[in-house]
Amino acid sequence: MCGAKHTEGLAPAACVRACVQKGAKYALVVGDKVYTLDTSDQATLDTLNKLAWEQAKVTGTAEGATISVKSVTAAK
């Protein structure tokens, strides 16, 4: 909903979580680009929630501005 900027008046990680609770999908921001992360795997969603607004390594298949997520881990 907010993209790379947060307008809810919350800390960025809290804003991400609030947007997801309202139905938005997680996203990966790379420079000026925003990729929507598509997954229905609960373990992956839990990891994305834990890593909200942190650097992460996302593995998957990109199609346009959407990435079908296979895995996500904290960036090293």
Q: What is the pLDDT of residues 19-65, one digit of tens each?
A: 899 999 999 988 889 999 999 999 999 999 999 989 999 999 999 99
Closest CA to 62 of 39, 44, 35, 43: 35
pLDDT attached to residue 1: 57
Q: Which helix (H) or strand (E) holds 46?
A: helix 42-50
Residue carrying structure tokens 């609030």 = 18
pTM higher than the cut 0.75 = yes
Measured between alpha carbons, how far is 76 from 74 in angstroms, rounded to an integer?
A: 6
Q: What pLDDT does residue 11 have?
A: 87
Residue ranges per domain, the chain?
12-74
Query: Tokens 């992956």, residue?
Result: 44
Q: What is the pLDDT of residue 29?
A: 87
